[in-house]
Chains A and B, each alone.
Chain A
Amino acid sequence: MPVIAARSVHKSFGEFEAVRGVDFEVARGEFFGFLGPNGAGKSSLMRMIGCVSPVTSGELRIFDLDPNVDGAAIRSRMGVVPQTDNLDQELTLLENLVMYGRYFDIPRRECRDRARELLEFVQLADRADSRVEPLSGGMKRRLTIARSLMNRPELLLLDEPTTGLDPQARHVLWERLYRLKEQGVTLALTTHYMDEAEQLCDRLVVMDRGRIVAEGTPRGLIVEHSTREVLELRLLSTTPDDIAERLAPIGERVEVLPDRVLVYAHDGEAALASVHQLGIEPLASLVRRSSLEDVFLRLTGRSLVE
């Protein structure tokens, strides 16, 4: 039985359709990702899974329960890390966790034990009695994750957990998330960072404008929708418009972006040599492996982070 099962789930806010019929399943113990740009419908989907937003149409089942009927029962088995921190500013770190546990009706002493343990887990034990306000963004995120674990959830929902964090804070967070996966927690994460999706997710769906445009493992999606390597060229802004046509024979596909041109080819270095042979002198060039960013560009014609 999947932990989350969605069949043609729709979500509308008045005229606006945020989610336009999505189907997917998340298996127990899986790290599942929703990759897409802002406005793709990821957060709306997360709120429906979190049972705080009713499904407009279609069928959504979590733990084989219906969110509209058993919302409270589902929420009691789930942890939620929202996109923006909503920690209790009037309480200390420890009290934040204890109080959150109390909302689940967990006995007070048990709450305190778990809170201490979790502060240890997110490396904030030394700040237990401090207020939330002075914490850095990364610390607040870790505290929110600790809070979401107070009820020992079977499923953890993370809505863009690393947006706005510096690279180091992101890595600390990722490492903690791996640990949770090792412990058997099912994780569902939304992100618009392709590196995050690539690093963390076992399987993911690519979302765009309320729809799922592709599904698979990070590697599988790249193999399916892109070439092995990409040649990135930075050209003079005075380069004529027919550059795409001139480069077309070199790679399988050429994408012209505002700031650079991407040439998709199996062998990037060979492609670069061909570019030079054509008499085109780029200001800079870079050969790299294909990423989910390229998959997204291929599928939607737009880049992820705009």
Chain B
Amino acid sequence: MSATAVDDTITAPALRVVPGTLRGAGRMVERSILVYRRTWLIIVSGFFEPLFYLLSIRIGFGALVGDVQTPNGPVDYAVFVAPALMASSAMNGAVYDSTMNIFFKLKHARLYETVLSTPLGPSAVAIGEITWALMRGVLYSVAFLGCMAALGMVISWWALLALPACVLIGLAFASAGMAVTTYMRGWNDFEFIPAATLPMFVLSATFYPVSSYGGLSWVVQLSPLYHGVALVRAACLGEGSWGLLGHVTVLAVMTVIGLRVASRRIGTLLLT
């Protein structure tokens, strides 16, 4: 970095020191990287979780269930469930990062209060934190896909498209999670988060085809995770169709609403 850049900052503050929102968001990400550099071991250990889940599907459930009937013919159970687990893992990671983690920084560490006393604004905070959650999410999704491939559960190169699908899932759930977190009064309220994510995890056509639900399949459609699972599964099984755009739309709408609520609420919580 050159000396002139330094001088600019000091002598012409009005010109340079007021960074745009995206730039500010970048600073928030920078902080997260600084913190997590020390705890990389925890991140690495997170890679084992997909491995455990996939293995148990392979050796346990796979043996009990055999093949699953899908509209495009029978599919090995492990191949059928693995993409759903990948989608759920993207959801869980994003929800954790955007709820517990954000609440801690909001109420206990009072990090955002500090940040808002600098030129950064609330939308920089919201975007920065969600970006970080996504970066971690991508890392885990790559690991997940790697595990799947290693265990022979990937049957098509289209599976690479599962990565952007997981980014979208992460984005949607991180935004919504952050918005919900701004309404949390205390740690006790967090008990309700698994009350939302657990039923979604089990009942989003994760472990068996949506046709198994019969007349109740419209209920499944209400779960945002279902749309994520549908996307990731279509990618992993290499079954493209225009209908997938509907799933994309649901997750995109969720993202937009979540982000707007989150940045407005962070503003009203901290800038009163």
Contacts and interface: CB of A to CB of B under 8 A. Distances in A.
Asked whether the complex places CB atoms of A and B closer than 8 A, the reply is yes
Interface of A: 13, 50, 52-54, 71-73, 75-77, 80, 82, 84, 86-91, 95, 99-100, 102-110, 151-152
Given A54-B271, A88-B111, A105-B27, A110 B17 contact: no
Nearest to B32: A90
Interface of B: 1, 5-6, 9-10, 13-14, 16-19, 23-24, 27, 30-31, 34-35, 109-111, 113-121, 270-272
B271 A103 contact: no
A208 to B, nearest CB: 23
A54 B272 CA distance: 6
B15 to A, nearest CB: 10
A1 B152 CA distance: 73
A211 B219 CA distance: 59
A80 B34 contact: no
A259 to B, nearest CB: 37
15 contacts: A72-B120, A73-B14, A73-B17, A76-B17, A76-B18, A77-B13, A82-B117, A86-B114, A91-B34, A91-B35, A100-B118, A103-B118, A105-B119, A110-B6, A152-B10
A132 to B, nearest CB: 10
A76 B34 contact: no
Given A53-B272, A99-B30, A99-B31, A105 B117 contact: no
A90 B109 CA distance: 9
Contact of A76 (B1, B31, B118): B118
A103 B109 contact: no
Contacts of A108: 1
Contacts of B34: 91, 95, 99
Given A103-B119, A110-B6, A72 B18 contact: yes
Between A73, A100, A104, A152, the greatest number of chain B beta carbons within 10 A of the residue's beta carbon is seen for: A104
Contact of A73 (B23, B119, B270): B119
What 9 A-B pairs are tightest by C-beta distance, nearest first? A103-B118, A76-B17, A86-B110, A72-B119, A80-B117, A76-B119, A107-B1, A105-B19, A90-B35
B121 A89 contact: no
B19 A107 contact: no
B105 to A, nearest CB: 9
A99 B118 CA distance: 11
Chain B CB within 10 Å — which of A13, A84, A108, A151 has the most?
A151
Given A53-B271, A75-B117, A88-B111, A105 B17 contact: yes
A72 B1 contact: no
Contact of A104 (B5, B17, B30, B113): B17
Contacts of B111: 86, 88
Contacts of B110: 84, 86
Contacts of A89: 109
B27 to A, nearest CB: 5
Contacts of A77: 13, 17
Contacts of A72: 18, 119-121
Contacts of B270: 52
B118 A104 contact: yes
B13 to A, nearest CB: 5
